[in-house]
Structure 1
């Protein structure tokens, strides 16, 4: 199997895994009891349902997207546009353990960040955990400028927190920022 086909297969598997995790996540949101829901107010199911839908759409897109689009995205991210245009070699992948089993370190790192977010968010609180998640995600996706990383993560965190707290009336955990009157 050539490098391009292996990359396409890995992308399809990543999409399937993301879609299955999103499906399980959405299934669990339906188990939230209705007595937490206030009439005519978005309740505790709103955020998990939106997040699950976003992940499901992303996984479905990776699963069914055309292969040439995925090859261009991967080449641009990895800086290997010239290597994609060249004839792929049939040599076995070299490098560390992840390369030998066909995993991209970006994929593993992104999932590690997501799992760490889910684990630490109740203790750190939504604002701090989300800020860190966005900084790490944006960095892993290739943004090298720290002022852009921090500014973007801070702006998105504030907009999301204010939107959920004041717009949707959803209480998000503050964690280490509990002492602040926000």
Structure 2
């Protein structure tokens, strides 16, 4: 029997390599190659995904008899995929804070969090990440309709 963890690990490793390769083709940061620029976070993310996928290839979860992929989870997985795709397309028109708050709130709600707490989590987390990127790292994020 083929272990689904190994298949997923191979797919994720391929994506991590392609993503990392693309990140190395980004333009050099304005302050120089050793400063934080547009390629920094994609490189870090590619490394993390690559390391996790290698772990999945080397040491996959052992399946007990009767365990495996459950098709009843497919609608939830498709909903997550749809939310993430919509998030990408809504980033520019709505801005980072609003689109991220909606995405986090919907995903938290689908994981069983009460809607009010999911909304608060989305708003607080997106605002904190925006402030970190904007003021702490001086990296611009889309502001959306509030842009002047």
Normalization by structure 2: what TM-score? 0.72
- 1:32 and 2:26 are equivalent in the alignment: yes
The corresponding residue for 2:129 is 160
User: How far did 1:121 drift?
Assistant: 1.5
Partner Cα distance (2:77, 2:6) in 1: 13
Partner Cα distance (2:75, 2:51) in 1: 22
In 2, are the aligned partners of 1:42 and 1:169 still within 8 Å (CA)?
no
Partner Cα distance (1:138, 1:60) in 2: 28
Kindly provide the CA deviation profile for residues 57-83 of structure 1, in whole angstroms up to 9, marking residues without a partner as x.
Answer: 554555555425xx7xxxxxxxxxxxx
Moved over 6 A (4+): none
> How many residues get paired?
145
Q: Cα gap change, 1:156/1:178 in structure 2, threshold over 3 Å: closer, same or farther? A: same
- Aligned ranges 1:56-135 → 2 under 5 Å: 56-57=50-51, 59-60=53-54, 62-64=56-58, 66-68=60-62, 88=66, 99=71, 104-135=74-105
Higher relative contact order (CA 8 A, sep 6+): 1
In 2, are the aligned partners of 1:125 and 1:173 still within 8 Å (CA)?
yes
Structure 1: where are the runs of 5+ without partners?
72-83, 94-98
In 1, are the aligned partners of 2:6 and 2:60 still within 8 Å (CA)?
no
- Aligned ranges 1:140-179 → 2 under 5 Å: 140=110, 142-179=111-148
Normalization by structure 1: what TM-score? 0.61
Partner Cα distance (2:54, 2:75) in 1: 21
Structure 2: where are the runs of 5+ without partners?
none
Kindly provide the CA deviation profile for residues 125-154 of structure 1, in whole angstroms up to 9, marking residues without a partner as x.
Answer: 2112211221222233x2231122122222
In 2, are the aligned partners of 1:41 and 1:168 still within 8 Å (CA)?
no
User: How far did 1:172 drift?
Assistant: 0.8
Partner Cα distance (1:147, 1:104) in 2: 26
Counterpart selection for 1:47 from 22, 41, 55: 41
